[in-house]
Structure 1
Amino acid sequence: MAQGGDWQQDVLRQLGQHGTPDEATRPVSTSAEPTAPRLPYSAQEPPADAAGAAGPDRPRRTTPAPQSEPAVRAPRTVRLPLHTPESVPTVDPRLAHALGRPQHGDSLPRRTGRTLRGLAASASQDVAEGTRIARELQQPVTTGRVIAVTSIRGGVGKSTVSALLGRTFNHYRHDPVLTLEADAALGTLPVRMGAESVRWSCADLAQILTPAMQLTDVTGYLVPVTDGGWLLPASQGRVGAPMDVRTYRTVTLALRRYFAVTVVDCETLPGEVARTAMDTAHARVVVAPMTAEGVSGTRQVLDWLAQLPHSALADTVVALSASSPDTTLDEKTAAAHLRETGVIVVPLPYDRHLAQGGPIHTAMLGRATRDAAVRLAAEAMHRAARVR
């Protein structure tokens, strides 16, 4: 895929020079002409300095440049954190074994029937549709795009949709993708993204971000997620962790230049951070539960977005999520009620794998769920990319 601007070429060049994102280096004060290569380390554990100064609490010693070779540029100074938080598991080890084996989203008879139908049917139409959607997801952007995900209440699949979007973008795009948790409550995004532990939070990163930091500096504070790009949690699972509008603005504005797409898992409306995220994002995804009261409340949110001064409703997509196989609300009627505001509605069907909880394994999702997630990501990206 052709890159969509010099910033993306710079990002990829950095990755090629410093190794893969999983081998990101720790942000430290270095000179413009280093005398030795920077050593890779795990993004979860800070490196120990060979001379005895370890971790971000103490700066690494560097060999001064010879007097006969003065530095051409001023040293690149990176702000060091005041403390190093401890890694905290996302799931209590005493409960980890209780998760059990993940289930397939589709039952065995359904998977078998779909395979047989696929052998007999023509695949030309599916290929054409897949190509169109992939083109939407892979379109180049000149600046990082932010897609905010929220809902009217918790427990309707907001973090699940955020995780699906983050994984989908990372699968289709060739540039860095970040999934950011902006919820001060005990969110489930790290668990859904498959992170075993978390350390640095949004509040921690907001204190140390500087324009001098490179992508390889920033990723040292993020959680690398298999098939999901990068993750930045809102907290370490503590109730009442600091997450305010100022922290959100600081982090999102600083990280936009490193990542082509940032998916933000917001707090529920009408929270202040959620309203700020919805107002400043390039595109918005509102997760609506497949219930009468859920659809009615979401309609009120859409009416509020229509009153914003910069046509926020035109860049909004609704994910109509079914959390139970026994939903009685008519899907077509509910979708039509929401479409009256002019938004695109993408139904997200009930999926046994998602309903089970725990980490999301893309290969175990139902076929209809995967198709819905890809379409939802394409619709959101189409709206985010057209914003100047």
Structure 2
Amino acid sequence: MTNSQSKSRGTIAYMMDPTVGKYHYGPCHPMKPYRVELTHALVVEYKMYKKMKIYYPSEASAHDMIRFHAEEYVDFLSRVTPNSQEYQRGYNQYNLGDDCPVFSGLFDFCKSYTGASLLCATMLNHKASGFCYINDIVIAILELLKYHVRVLYIDIDIHHGDGVQEAFYLTDRVMTVSFHKYGNNFFPGTGSMYEIGAETGRYYSINVPLREGITDDDYYDLVFKPVISTVMSYYRPTCIVLQCGADSLGGDRLGCFNLSIKGHGKCVAYVMEQNLPTLVVGGGGYTVKNVARCWTYETSLIINETLSNDIPYHDYIEFFGPDCQLHPDLINPKLENGNSRTYLELIVQFVNEKLRLLKHAPSVQMQDVPCDLIDNEDKNDEDEDDTRQKASSVDPVNEFYDDDKDIDRD
């Protein structure tokens, strides 16, 4: 799921690939791509598509991917299959294994999700309204940098946003801010608050290392809002990329935080209040039904829509039983909050001290802008009907057109 927002929030672009649910990491792997399909089903049943432009994005090409990744690695992904001779090489040379297994359709999957993020970045440029193989977020940010002098990346996944941080560790054009669990050998083991960037990028990497059990009020009121408000004042970004990993919710299979869906959503709402072009992407999240609930609710915040807590009946309703509520109680009262107020205040104080070392927001002399990697404008003008995704769970007749009528199912 990928959303993008124009400055006025008048046009919201929403990306959905109808094939995403067919990919499978393996029976024991916690990553379930069909969580996006469940999210989309809820978006449709809550009729939020009527307030967004729904697009079926083009696949990214190998050329798009090698803007950041080595050509040899991308070529390997394009050829490897579970039964190929290249299989063992991937495990030895490219660190593929239990977390990143080789599965059927792997490269098609990479092209799909990278294409969605890249298309959203291209549309924002034109003022349109973990378990990772290709770093689609980095590629999208590189596209945004063609038009935006300063991009702010915010990561609320429970795991440290190490890949994006590393990509932009030496530049002031991108500030990365990651809120994550740190310590006790928690994956990926990076994200100390002392990782602050280097060379031109010194002080432009911000890390908020948290302990297990953090609650809504502590997360939002004591760290997220204070940090982001200060970042906005000092850095003055012209564009935001927000990664909404749902594994920071209470009860996640791999997580250890105690956030509710509404608490997680408060962070999204605050970012939207900044009224900047914003790219919103998914991330981690391994209790599938709660991931779908969370991203559906946060889509409603982006479009200023109020949703009923009772999930509408639809083809996937059994996933949300027995309560069938959008906001179930996810809080684990037995999970102790390891984050004292003093500890959180010290982290925020450290971040503020580093930000004060920035004399001013960096300015960039823009050069001639390269052509877009995805020629989206002409394609959508000439054949918009083909780029709008039709959902299989509702009557497909005209449901994604601006002048459609509210046709209820029988």
- Shorter-normalised TM-score: what interval? under 0.3
TM value normalised by structure 1: 0.28
TM value normalised by structure 2: 0.27
Larger Rg: 1
